[in-house]
Amino acid sequence: MVVLTSESGALGHTPELFLEAKSKNDYIEKLDYLKDENIRNEIGKKLRTNISKDYNADKETSKLIKLYGELLND
């Protein structure tokens, strides 16, 4: 799945993992670009790899444990 978002929706994310549109015309151009199935598949594979690597259950659990520890120590 490909993500098409605005500049604010893209904050803090790797730009090559999604498409960012800055205007109405830019959204239209990006949607036309995504008509190519090969492009959609390529972007989708990159996104899935990144999510599996950076947002898996082990990493998210570690982040929560760290956060809880910080909150309890304050």
pLDDT tens across 28-40, in order? 999 999 999 999 8
Q: What is residue 29's predicted lDDT score, i.e. its pLDDT?
A: 95
Q: Distance between CA atoms of 20 and 65, rounded to whole angstroms?
A: 32
Q: What is residue 71's predicted lDDT score, i.e. its pLDDT?
A: 93
Counting as low any pLDDT under 50, the low residues of the chain are none
pTM of the model: 0.62
Q: What is residue 37's predicted lDDT score, i.e. its pLDDT?
A: 94
Residue 12, sorted as left (phi over 0), alpha (psi -120 to 50) or beta, turns out to be left
